[in-house]
C-alpha cells in the first residue's frame, strides 16, 4: 500500500470516530430535551353554578375550567348548545363556545349570558354541554347543564290614551292631536284628585303607568279637557273619540279596553269638563278596570 493510501484510510477512520462520538452526544441531548417536552395527561374540572331555573333577566353566569397541572400547549374545550331546547341562542341567551386554557396556565373561563324581554311567552329551556370528543390533551368528563328560563312578567301596566284623528271643520281638515289637549286624571275612591299627573301633559296620546308604587284600593280614571281649538262656526258638534290600550310586559300587549262613547269629549265641551272613564281597582299586582256606571268588569290582569 502506498503511503498516500494508508494516510488516507487513517484520516477516514479518525473522521468516522469523531462523527460517531458526535452522534452519540447529540442523541443523549435529544433524549433529554424530548423528555422535558412530553405532555402530561392532566384532568380538567368545571366549576359552574348554572342557573337551573331562573326568571329571564339580563345576567351573566361565568364558569371556569381548571387543569390539574399546566400544559405546554393550549388546551381547547368546546362548549355547545344541545339540540332540542325551546330557548333561542342569540335572543334568549348567548354562550361562549370555546374555552382556551393557555399553555403554562391552569385556568380558562367562559360565560353564559341571559337576556330579559317583554315578550309574552311560557318558560323556555336549553341545555349547555361543556366538553366533547374534540377535547384533546386533557381528561375532561363531558357535562351537560339544563337551564329553564321562566317568563318575566312586569309589575307595571301601561295605558295609552289616544284621541288622534281628524275632522273636516269649516272646510278645513283639523288634527285632533294638534288642537285638542285631553288629560287623564286619577281620582281616589272619594273622587279627590290623587295628584298623579302622568297622563296630564301636552302629549297626544297620553300614557299612564299602573305599578307597585300605587297603594291598593279603588281609583277613578277621569278624562279632563284641558283645551280645545276646534269649534265649528255652525255650532255643530265634533266628537274626539278616545281609544285605550293596555300593555303589561310579559303578560299582554296592546289590549284594547272598551270605552263607553258616552264619555267621549266633544267640541261643545268647555275646558275643564270631566268624564269618568273607568273605575280602577289595584289589588297587589292585579289590576282591574270596571265600567264606572254599571260596575261591569271590563279587564283584569
DSSP the chain: --HHHHHHHHHHHHHHHHHHHHHHHHHHHHHHHHHHH-----BEEEE----SEEE--SEEEEEEEEESS--SS-EEEEEEEETT-SS-BTTTEEE--EEEE-TT-SEEEEEEEE---------EEEEEEE--TT--SSB---EEEEEEEEPP--S-EEEEEE---EEEETTEEEEHHHHEEEEEEEEETTS-B----TT-SS-SSEEEEE-TTSPSEEEEEEEEEEEE----TT----EE--EEEEEETTTEEEEEEP--GGG-EETTSPTT-EEEEEEEEEETTEEEEE-TTT--EEEE-
Nearest approach, Cβ of 68 to Ca ion (angstroms)? 42
46 vs 162, beta carbon nearer Ca ion: 162
Site string for Ca ion, 109-128 (x = CB under 5 A): --------x-x-x-------
Site string for Ca ion, 160-199 (x = CB under 5 A): ---------------------x-x----------------
Is residue 251 part of the contact set for Ca ion (CB under 5 A)?
no
59 vs 117, beta carbon nearer Ca ion: 117
6 vs 273, beta carbon nearer Ca ion: 273
Nearest approach, Cβ of 301 to Ca ion (angstroms)? 15
Nearest approach, Cβ of 288 to Ca ion (angstroms)? 23
Is residue 55 part of the contact set for Ca ion (CB under 5 A)?
no
DSSP 226-271: EEE----TT----EE--EEEEEETTTEEEEEEP--GGG-EETTSPT
Among 66, 78, 80, 151, binds Ca ion (CB under 5 A): 151
107 vs 115, beta carbon nearer Ca ion: 115
Nearest approach, Cβ of 120 to Ca ion (angstroms)? 7
Is residue 207 part of the contact set for Ca ion (CB under 5 A)?
no
Nearest approach, Cβ of 121 to Ca ion (angstroms)? 5
Nearest approach, Cβ of 272 to Ca ion (angstroms)? 13
47 vs 91, beta carbon nearer Ca ion: 91
Question: Which of the ranges 238-246, 249-257, 271-279, 281-289 carries the binding residues for Ca ion, by CB under 5 A?
Answer: 249-257
Size of the site for Ca ion (CB under 5 A): 7
Nearest approach, Cβ of 33 to Ca ion (angstroms)? 59
The residues that touch Ca ion, with contacts defined as CB under 5 A, are 117, 119, 121, 151, 181, 183, 250
Amino acid at each position: 500500500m502506498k503511503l498516500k493510501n494508508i494516510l488516507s484510510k487513517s484520516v477516514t477512520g479518525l473522521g468516522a470516530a469523531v462523527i460517531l462520538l458526535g452522534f452519540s452526544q447529540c442523541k443523549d441531548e435529544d433524549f433529554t430535551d424530548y423528555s422535558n417536552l412530553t405532555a402530561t395527561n392532566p384532568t380538567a374540572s368545571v366549576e359552574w353554578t348554572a342557573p337551573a331555573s331562573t326568571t329571564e333577566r339580563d345576567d351573566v353566569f361565568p364558569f371556569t375550567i381548571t387543569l390539574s397541572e399546566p400544559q405546554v400547549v393550549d388546551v381547547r374545550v368546546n362548549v355547545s348548545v344541545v339540540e332540542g331546547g325551546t330557548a333561542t341562542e342569540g335572543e334568549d341567551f348567548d354562550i361562549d363556545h370555546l374555552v382556551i386554557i393557555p399553555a403554562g396556565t391552569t385556568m380558562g373561563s367562559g360565560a353564559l349570558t341571559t337576556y330579559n324581554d317583554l315578550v309574552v311567552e311560557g318558560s323556555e329551556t336549553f341545555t349547555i354541554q361543556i366538553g366533547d370528543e374534540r377535547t384533546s390533551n386533557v381528561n375532561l368528563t363531558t357535562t351537560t347543564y339544563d337551564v329553564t328560563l321562566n317568563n318575566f312578567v312586569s309589575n307595571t301596566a301601561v295605558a295609552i290614551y289616544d284621541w288622534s284623528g281628524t275632522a273636516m271643520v269649516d272646510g278645513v281638515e283639523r288634527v285632533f292631536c294638534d288642537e285638542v289637549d285631553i288629560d287623564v286624571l286619577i281620582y281616589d275612591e272619594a273622587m279627590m284628585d290623587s295628584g298623579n299627573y302622568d297622563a296630564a301633559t301636552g302629549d297626544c296620546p297620553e300614557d299612564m303607568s299602573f305599578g307597585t308604587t300605587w297603594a291598593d284600593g279603588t281609583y277613578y280614571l277621569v278624562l279632563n279637557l284641558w283645551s280645545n281649538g276646534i269649534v265649528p262656526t255652525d255650532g255643530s258638534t265634533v266628537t274626539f273619540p278616545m281609544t285605550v290600550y293596555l300593555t303589561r310586559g310579559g303578560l299582554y300587549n296592546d289590549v284594547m279596553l272598551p270605552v263607553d262613547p258616552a264619555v267621549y269629549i266633544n267640541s261643545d265641551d268647555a275646558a275643564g269638563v270631566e268624564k269618568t272613564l273607568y273605575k280602577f281597582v289595584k289589588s297587589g299586582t292585579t289590576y282591574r278596570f270596571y265600567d264606572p256606571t254599571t260596575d261591569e268588569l271590563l279587564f283584569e290582569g
